[in-house]
Structure 1
Amino acid sequence: MKLDGGIAGAIGGTPLIRLERLFRDEPFAVFGKLEGMNPGGSAKDRPALHMLREAIRRGDVIEGSTVIESSSGNLAISLAQLCRFLGIRFICVVDPRTTDAHKRIIRSLGGEIELVEQPDAATGEFLPARIARVKELLGTIPDAYWTNQYGNPDNARSHQDTTMREIGDELGKIDYLFCGVSSCGTIRGCADYIRSRGWTTKVVAVDAQGSILFGGSSGPRRFPGLGAAIVPDLHGGDLADIVVKVSDADCVWGCRELARREAILAGASSGGVLAAVRRLAGSIPAGSICAAILPDRGERYMSSVFDDEWVKRELEIDPDAWNRGGLDMLYLNDSHITEAGVDWVKLAGIAEDAVRAMDRGEYAAPLKTYLRFPEPGNRIIATPAYLGGPHPLAGIKWIAGFPGNIKNGQPRAQNAIILNDPENGLPLAFVRCNLLNGLRAAAVSGVMLRAYADSRPDQDIRLGIIGWGPIGRLHLDMCAALLGSRLKEITLYDLRDIDPQSVPEAVRGRTAIASDWRKLYRRSSVIATCTVSAERYIDEPAAPGSLLLNVSLRDFKPEGVAGVRAVIVDDWREVCRENTDIELLHLRHGLREEDVRTLADLVCRDALAEFSGETVFFNPMGLGIFDIAIAGHYCREAVKRGLGIELP
């Protein structure tokens, strides 16, 4: 018995194409290995062929044998096809997650379906129950052979000898390999090939949320082919350099984006792999060559991934925005942002990513324009910006500040942002949201706070906030979220009386209200000034080693901070004007641009290392790139959740 020629000869040699449209704005190249072009429709054709060939060579599979395997679908199709070609029996043990499309194909190729309907009693998972059923069948069927994809080294060797070799022959040494994991045959074989050649390639394992392959607890997973409820023998301890866990929604998004931008219809795990590339985009160096293995075709997911009603019902996501492709304009307001929720770790991370993009030169941000009328105190500030990175956007923020509005019961400031597609200039979103301005300010302060806290890992934090308006309250929320148990004490001060009930219940027991700003200032290690004070009032140095978050920019008299060496700004040109504390230090004490450090120095070059234990004076004027980045995040969240109003 031989397994050569015919359909077996068509396996492998799949196309490797550059995904230029999907990653058009990235400084690196991504090549997709289209494994769905194998005759059985997936990457599983390769191990099916190799495992059967080796079993025949060893005499484990002979005329009259029955091949048995536990599979979620794709390997079963590959084995059914090759067993039909050999003229031998094939039984596939599946569970309810296997799609009807997969089962129909298996039966069409002569395979028999053995459905396990109840999960394993001990673990609640189907995979152990499927394997137990395989072992039962092996004990009752003469000349039965289990290919055992989870522990058969021939599974991994097939990818070492073919998949990764093909990628290497075409691209040479690559910088990143993105590979979905389940039985771990593909990633094991590819990793072995890479390491056998001494390449420095980063191997990225794309796992499913709810999988235990790389730790964590087991949970529900809707799609086959990604993740596992057991750790297979092929796993090993050196499988991957980076692990990215993706959700079912990530898989759907990736598949639909691939179809929309590249006209490639691929299966759920392919979408997950592409979502992982997108997630790591901000950390992939410019010029890198990335290969992404896209395991199967999309036709088998018509009733799930590509079914709008299924996506709405099962994932509770409105797919219309994905289908629109961003061609319509989205309107968001405060209520939409509130419904999307505030994740301070994520927002600070977004601000930090924007800093990194700025440091790479992937931005444009002219100086703000101030329009004053009819009274000098009234103004509209225009802040245009472009930000590159994983989610490139352009746009402009308009913020109108009219102090007299307060007397009329109206907001002092009005904030609006327009986002544009940087490739064609088309407007993507209009965001009218005062909350967004505060979220941006607190997120940027969060970048500074995290760096400060990381430089003092053993120090408990005593937080003081001067000014209990919206910005002050958001700063308390941010500090509590980022500092956690390290935040031991909170002191608040405002010219107006502060209602203790206005303090979030979670931190109320740690919070005191000061009757004088000096009491707060002298006992706090982190002080945030969040006022609209018309006059400077802080005239004394802070306690040594403090962090001064000068959010309102005009609270410190020069003598209070003239002795501070660690002065951090977001942008010198912006902050050294408009009567800021930095401008006064420049004019009266000779502070120069070369004397300060920037957020880019902080994030990218560990600027605090040269100021160990010293007081830090942070002055963020507010750059448009941060407004664009935060607004872009909420627009993406709105699209995922079906929030906002579509404008014609």
Structure 2
Amino acid sequence: MPLPAKGVCASALQAIGNTPVVRLQKIVPTISADVLVKLEYFNPTGSYKDRMALSMIEEAEARGTLRPGMTVVEYTGGSTGSSLAFVCAVKGYPFKVVSSDAFAREKLQTMRAFGAELMIVPSVGGQVTPDLTPRMIEAARELAKDPGIYWTDQLHNADIITGHEKLGRELLEQIEGPIHAFCGAVGTAGMLMGVARALRQANSQARMIALEPASSAFLSTGKAGTHHVEGIGIGSVPPLLDSAFYDEVRGIDEGEARQMARRLAQEEGIFAGVSSGLNVVGALQLAQELGAGHTIVTVAVDTGLKYLAGDLYEG
């Protein structure tokens, strides 16, 4: 399938974005809304995080807070780290990553492949517990005391919203007719906020639905818990999540999300991870509620190739 963008890219960074949108065929009940999925694993590192990584680096360069010779630092569960490692490799910045053994080995290996230096914060039994992200943040904060460090600090960096607004604008160009609802899992909240801003600027009336793991439904219940859906459900309210830009929060069962990821691969040919399965579970709920004649949109956030060392696709 040819890429929508035309011409020769000056570098791999220009291959970010312009990802395809597909309509689900087999897993959507006959009497329900259309469900469209934007395949963000067409980005260079197989994740939508490429968008925010490029934005964080280039916006910092434009401000002069990131200069040649400096080292970039970030805490990450993997996909942001892979994307930043990719961008830093192309631009020539050393990159130090604070991550954990709670995240997929493929993601850690990808960061190393791009030349990143990793610091691993040990998890409790390989789980994403409420204390894990704060411990990773503190480790990154210590590294950032060095004046030669630029800490992207994704949870507090509004540049990630700017990076994801283009995703929303692409959806408006690609989809004929109105978008009635958009749903997406919340980690940093950059994707949901970026899409919401783009749709609002275009006067779209789409409902914006934030999704989270039901076992750590802090946004909807105020109670954090343990889960194993990488990149989302951080156990607190992300600083960039603005309640004025979404309409509802839903907790989605992790078991259903994992089963949906497998169904997407086997029935729709969409090979993605658990958070993508979670997004589609939420989208199907909305599709049944809104009914025929409506359009629900969500995102396949990353490739299933990042999860082959785990148990998601075993058996």
- Are 1:281 and 2:287 counterparts? yes
| CA deviation vs aligned residue, 1:336-378 (integer Å, no higher than 9, x gap) | xxxxxxxxxxxxxxxxxxxxxxxxxxxxxxxxxxxxxxxxxxx
Instruction: Report the equivalent of 1:170.
Output: 174
Please say which structure displays the higher CA radius of gyration. Answer: 1
How far apart are residue 214 of structure 1 and its match?
Answer: 3.3
Q: Kindly tell me: are residues 227 and 190 of structure 1, through their superposed partners in 2, closer, same or farther at Cα, counting changes over 3 Å?
A: same
- 1:74 aligned residue (73, 79, 85): 79
| CA deviation vs aligned residue, 1:423-461 (integer Å, no higher than 9, x gap) | xxxxxxxxxxxxxxxxxxxxxxxxxxxxxxxxxxxxxxx
Instruction: Report the equivalent of 1:262.
Output: 268
Q: How does 1:191-590 map to 2 (within 5 A)?
A: 191-209=196-214, 210-302=216-308, 303-308=310-315
3-state secondary structure, aligned to 1:150: helix
Paired residues of 1:127 and 1:230 also in contact (CA < 8 A): no
Paired residues of 2:32 and 2:289 also in contact (CA < 8 A): no
- Are 1:94 and 2:99 counterparts? yes
- Are 1:20 and 2:25 counterparts? yes
How far apart are residue 236 of structure 1 and its match?
Answer: 1.8
- Are 1:83 and 2:83 counterparts? no
How far apart are residue 94 of structure 1 and its match?
Answer: 0.9
How far apart are residue 277 of structure 1 and its match?
Answer: 1.9
How far apart are residue 9 of structure 1 and its match?
Answer: 0.6
Instruction: Report the equivalent of 2:42.
Output: 37
3-state secondary structure, aligned to 1:306: coil
| CA deviation vs aligned residue, 1:445-503 (integer Å, no higher than 9, x gap) | xxxxxxxxxxxxxxxxxxxxxxxxxxxxxxxxxxxxxxxxxxxxxxxxxxxxxxxxxxx
What is the number of residues matched between the two proteins?
A: 300
Q: How does 1:43-58 map to 2 (within 5 A)?
A: 43-58=48-63
Give the letter aligned to residue 307 of structure 1. E
Further displaced range: 91-100 or 177-186: 91-100
CA distance in structure 1 between the partners assigned to 2:121 and 2:13 by the alignment? 30
3-state secondary structure, aligned to 2:22: strand
How far apart are residue 96 of structure 1 and its match?
Answer: 2.5
How far apart are residue 24 of structure 1 and its match?
Answer: 5.4
CA distance in structure 2 between the partners assigned to 1:25 and 1:157 by the alignment? 37
- 2:65 aligned residue (60, 64, 73): 60
How far apart are residue 118 of structure 1 and its match?
Answer: 5.7
Tell me the C-alpha RMSD between the 2 structures.
1.7
CA distance in structure 1 between the partners assigned to 2:31 and 2:303 by the alignment? 25
3-state secondary structure, aligned to 1:20: coil
Q: How does 1:134-213 map to 2 (within 5 A)?
A: 134-139=140-145, 141-160=146-165, 162-171=166-175, 172-209=177-214, 210-213=216-219
| CA deviation vs aligned residue, 1:541-569 (integer Å, no higher than 9, x gap) | xxxxxxxxxxxxxxxxxxxxxxxxxxxxx
How far apart are residue 95 of structure 1 and its match?
Answer: 2.0
Paired residues of 1:173 and 1:199 also in contact (CA < 8 A): yes
Paired residues of 2:130 and 2:234 also in contact (CA < 8 A): no
3-state secondary structure, aligned to 2:144: helix
CA distance in structure 2 between the partners assigned to 1:212 and 1:206 by the alignment? 11
| CA deviation vs aligned residue, 1:15-67 (integer Å, no higher than 9, x gap) | 11111222252432111100011001100000101111111111111111111
3-state secondary structure, aligned to 1:279: helix
Q: Kindly tell me: are residues 287 and 236 of structure 1, through their superposed partners in 2, closer, same or farther at Cα, counting changes over 3 Å?
A: same
Paired residues of 2:286 and 2:296 also in contact (CA < 8 A): no
CA distance in structure 1 between the partners assigned to 2:53 and 2:236 by the alignment? 21
How far apart are residue 91 of structure 1 and its match?
Answer: 1.0
CA distance in structure 2 between the partners assigned to 1:142 and 1:132 by the alignment? 17
Give the letter aligned to residue 170 of structure 2. E
Paired residues of 1:254 and 1:271 also in contact (CA < 8 A): yes
Paired residues of 2:34 and 2:287 also in contact (CA < 8 A): no
How far apart are residue 124 of structure 1 and its match?
Answer: 5.1
Instruction: Report the equivalent of 2:3.
Output: none
How far apart are residue 255 of structure 1 and its match?
Answer: 0.4
CA distance in structure 2 between the partners assigned to 1:137 and 1:279 by the alignment? 43
Q: Gaps (5+ residues) in structure 1?
A: 309-648
How far apart are residue 105 of structure 1 and its match?
Answer: 0.7
Give the letter aligned to residue 104 of structure 2. T
Instruction: Report the equivalent of 1:126.
Output: 132
3-state secondary structure, aligned to 1:292: strand
Paired residues of 2:130 and 2:226 also in contact (CA < 8 A): no
- Are 1:117 and 2:111 counterparts? no
Q: Quick one: percent identity of the two aligned structures?
A: 30
CA distance in structure 1 between the partners assigned to 2:231 and 2:130 by the alignment? 18
How far apart are residue 239 of structure 1 and its match?
Answer: 3.6
CA distance in structure 1 between the partners assigned to 2:60 and 2:122 by the alignment? 30
Paired residues of 1:22 and 1:261 also in contact (CA < 8 A): yes
Give the letter aligned to residue 182 of structure 1. G
- Taking structure 2 as the reference length, the TM-score comes to 0.91
How far apart are residue 280 of structure 1 and its match?
Answer: 3.1
Q: Name the structure, 1 or 2, with higher relative contact order (CA <8 Å, separation 6+).
A: 2
Give the letter aligned to residue 23 of structure 1. V
Q: Gaps (5+ residues) in structure 2?
A: 1-8
